[in-house]
Amino acid sequence: MSAIAGILADRGFAVSGSDPRDNAVLQDLRGRGVRVFREQSASTIAAIRSGTSHAPVVVVSSAVPESNPELQEARRIGLDIRHRSDLLASLIATQTSIAVAGSHGKTTTSTLLASLLYATDHDPTAVIGGIVPAFGSNGRNGDGQLLVAEADESDGSLVKFEATLGVITNLELDHTDHYPNLDALIATLQRFARGCQNVLANRDCPVLRQHFQAQAWWSVQSCDDVQFAALPLELNGDSTLAAFYENGVQLGTFTLPLPGLHNLSNATAALAACRLQGVAFEVLRQAVESLQAPGRRFDYRGTWRGRQVVDDYAHHPSEVDATLAMARLMVSSGRSPLPASPQRLLAVFQPHRYSRTAEFLDAFAQALSQADAVVLAPLYAAGETPMAGISSAALAAAIQRIRPELQVEVSDSLEELTEAVALHSRAGDLVLAMGAGDVNGLWGRLEQRQPCDPALPLAA
């Protein structure tokens, strides 16, 4: 929502919005002329209408409930109400556009793509679900001809997008509050693909291979039957050296300053999309070396008493597994992008939604079991009604069925979580906080914590 608001403001529209919180994103929007209300009430609609002779268009996302007083007032007086996806669809339709979809890696891939285009003087417009370090924002009204958009599948609204190029990173069941099964999710992404002029897809994903047709494919496993490939030559805890192939011919090598095979796949998708737009590989090769991940993607927050605290958005088993595997590589290789190479891995995880936790309980447990120690935050409901037998305690029990010797702590509040991390971690630990809820404030809570008993280390 904030990305679209900023772009429309930059294009001369009068934009207003409301948010009870305050943060850097809202401060940025105010600086771009957006009027921000701190209270969400019916009076907000009256205040907006009083400043103009035009009837405002009210834009909502799927996260806005029908009980929202502003939405209720807008409906009462008959204002034009649009879904966020309708505005994004209009933006996508007015420019040469690249829409990035898929279960995992959308934000990172679209961030890397927009960053590469920006670094190679193409200055794209961008609408992305995370902060792009190159812009310092999640949205940009660029002067170039291209638009890069993250196409979220969570509510199915991406079927409205008719992009010049659709990029699909991978596909597996998620958002079980909206999709009853994988077939329903596949059908939605197939509708998205049919609406794009061309499709670039990940050949390494078995679901995409079986159910999708693409004009171009990429892989990080093989050069066979793909138009683009990046094969790893060195996998380190702080970077990846890879050879880039186009139609089976090696164009050269590049060093990606992001570790992990999943990041290599995201970067390969971004490189392939740029090549399809005619950007020279040699120019891209140089630009790759300065790439940065978006905010909340292995985001180093600071060091507290020798513990390096990292925040990550991972909230699906595959994302948790990939993030922990990347962190494990840092421990084992002695190389990392952090100030110091970590000695041990303490996973802090907040389950997100009862429906997702119930569907993937055993898969979450398997992914988390690769840590040296686990601390679980209370489940973040995201508005869902509690489900019997589904909780952080149930996840802890599932983890210990896999690794009985692994010590797992369960917290009933964020305050307890902070204390558990403080008491059961040790200097040299990488404290990796994962989740899509409010666990991302761990670093700040540790900093504000009052001194207490000396830290008690978990068993190695």
- Give the tokens for residue 156: 């199915």
Is residue 109 annotated as part of the catalytic site, yes or no? no
The residues, ordered by sequence, that sit 6+ positions from 326 with a Cβ below 8 Å of its Cβ are 237, 259, 260, 262, 263, 298
User: Do 353 and 382 contact (CB within 8 A), yes or no?
Assistant: yes
197-236 confidence digits (pLDDT tens): 999 999 999 999 999 999 999 999 999 999 999 999 999 9
Burial call 398-433: b when 16+ CB within 10 Å, e when fewer: bbbeebeebebbbbeebeebbbbbbbbbbeebbbbb
What percent of the chain is predicted at pLDDT more than 90? 92
pLDDT per residue as tens digits for the range 103-156 = 999 999 999 999 999 999 999 999 999 999 999 999 999 999 999 999 999 999
- pLDDT value at 100 more than 60: yes
Q: Is the pLDDT of residue 454 over 80?
A: no
Catalytic residue among 106, 176, 323, 357: 106
Identified catalytic residue from 44, 70, 107, 418: 107
Q: Can you tell me the distance from the alpha carbon of 214 to that of 197, in angstroms, rounded to the nearest whole number?
A: 10
Domains in the chain, CATH or no CATH each = 2-82 (3.40.50.720), 95-288 (3.40.1190.10), 299-448 (3.90.190.20)
* SS3 at position 154: coil
Select which of 44, 109, 150, 319 is catalytic. 150
Question: pLDDT grade, residue 302 (50/70/90)?
Answer: very high
Other beta carbons less than 10 A from residue 450's beta carbon = 4
Q: How confident is the model at residue 23 (pLDDT cuts 50, 70, 90)?
A: confident
Dist CA 425 CA 308 (whole Å) = 11
pLDDT at 75: 97
Instruction: Return the structure tokens found at 383.
Output: 């508005």
User: Both ends of the chain: CA-CA distance in Å?
Assistant: 44
Q: Is the pLDDT of residue 453 over 60?
A: no
Given pLDDT bands bounded at 50, 70 and 90, which one contains residue 449?
A: confident
| Pairwise CA distance, residues 364 & 360, whole Å | 6
Examine the residue annotation and report whether 150 is marked as an active-site residue of this protein: yes
* Rg of the chain, C-alpha, whole Å: 22
Quick one: tokens of 189?
Answer: 């992404």
Long-range contacts of 72-81 (CB under 8 A, 24+ apart): 72/42, 73/42, 73/44, 73/45, 73/46, 74/45, 77/45, 79/45, 79/55, 80/55, 81/57
Q: Is the pLDDT of residue 321 over 50?
A: yes
Average pLDDT over residues 285-303: 94
Q: How many CB atoms lie within 10 A of CB 163?
A: 28
Question: At 72, phi and psi to the nearest 5?
Answer: -60, -40
pLDDT band at residue 451, thresholds of 50, 70 and 90?
low
Summary mean pLDDT of the chain: 94
160 catalytically annotated = no
